[in-house]
Amino acid sequence: MALDPEKIPRHVAIIMDGNGRWAKQRGMPRIRGHQVGADSVRAVLKACRKFGVDYLTLYAFSSENWVRPKAEIRGLMTLLRKFLREQAFELHDNEVRLRVIGHKEDLPDAVRAELDRVIEETAHYQKGTLLLALSYGSRVEITDAVRAIAEKVRCGELAPDTITEQTVAGHLYAPDVPDPDLLIRTSGEYRISNFLLWQCSYSELYVTPVLWPDFREAEFEAALVNYQGRHRRFGGIQ
């Protein structure tokens, strides 16, 4: 089935799951699954440009992932730095800007420095946006928003009876980014896993048994085809 260019989702979010299982199935260390998974990130980013997806948000490292073995975390952080160095030229070539949501201050100094460099260098691009959710948890994000709103109320800048859904949304990490139209989860798990809980209230969900290291352009296109077959009513009956 050919894609309808008029029905391409503007924003796709992905829970990249299955790296560890992919490696275990092959008798490899878990970090190998993450390394191959980085190739899937590159493939999907290229597919977004090809098909016309404006925003891509990737759940790269959750706030809960800090409980993983220290050796695995070190490997993931090293891989993230390597990815940023190697991917930067493609962001430039495609005029895609990089942004981060989450508690970036939790990351190692070297990783933050690399992130800040690429974010600054790509900030002016307008042909696409890659958002990396790093040390991110949606409940923490909502809590941070509530805390910021409460501080404005305390200071007299905001009246409680004027708080709306738009007020809350405006205090999230990326308030200018449209909510995801499509949320993809790989590896067959039917969980949102504390990812963009507010923003995904009306996102179309697509779960595939494909493990993330095997998820490339063809799998991404299949998700878009599935999405285009949905009828989005947003609570209505039309």
| Residue 115 counted as domain residue | yes
CA distance 104 to 111: 9
Q: Is 4 among the catalytic positions?
A: no
Pairing of strands 55-62, 129-136: parallel
Domain encompassing residue 42: 8-137+180-228
| Residue 49 counted as domain residue | yes
CA distance 219 to 200: 21
How much is the pTM?
0.94
| Residue 222 counted as domain residue | yes
Place of tokens 């073995």: 69
Per-residue pLDDT reduced to its tens digit, 183-235: 999 999 999 999 999 999 999 999 999 999 999 999 999 999 999 999 776 56
Q: Where are the alpha helices (DSSP H) in the chain?
A: 19-25, 30-51, 70-94, 109-122, 138-154, 165-169, 217-228
Per-residue pLDDT reduced to its tens digit, 38-83: 999 999 999 999 999 999 999 999 999 999 999 999 999 999 999 8
CB 13 within 8 A of CB 197: no
**Which of 65, 94, 194, 226 is an active site residue?**
65
| Residue 143 counted as domain residue | no
**Which of 17, 19, 54, 181 is an active site residue?**
17
| Residue 166 counted as domain residue | no
For residue 1, pLDDT beyond 90 = no
Instruction: For residue 87, name the pLDDT band (cuts at 50, 70, 90).
Output: confident
The domain total for the chain is: 1
Average pLDDT over residues 12-39: 96
- For 196: left if phi > 0, alpha if psi spans -120 to 50, otherwise beta; the answer is left
| Residue 19 counted as domain residue | yes
Q: Is 65 among the catalytic positions?
A: yes
| Residue 70 counted as domain residue | yes
| Residue 224 counted as domain residue | yes
Could you tell me what percentage of the chain is helix, strand and coil, using 3-state DSSP and rounding each to the nearest 5? 50, 15, 35
CATH number of the domain where residue 199 is located = 3.40.1180.10
Q: How far is CA 20 from CA 26, 68, 83, 227, in A?
A: 10, 12, 18, 27
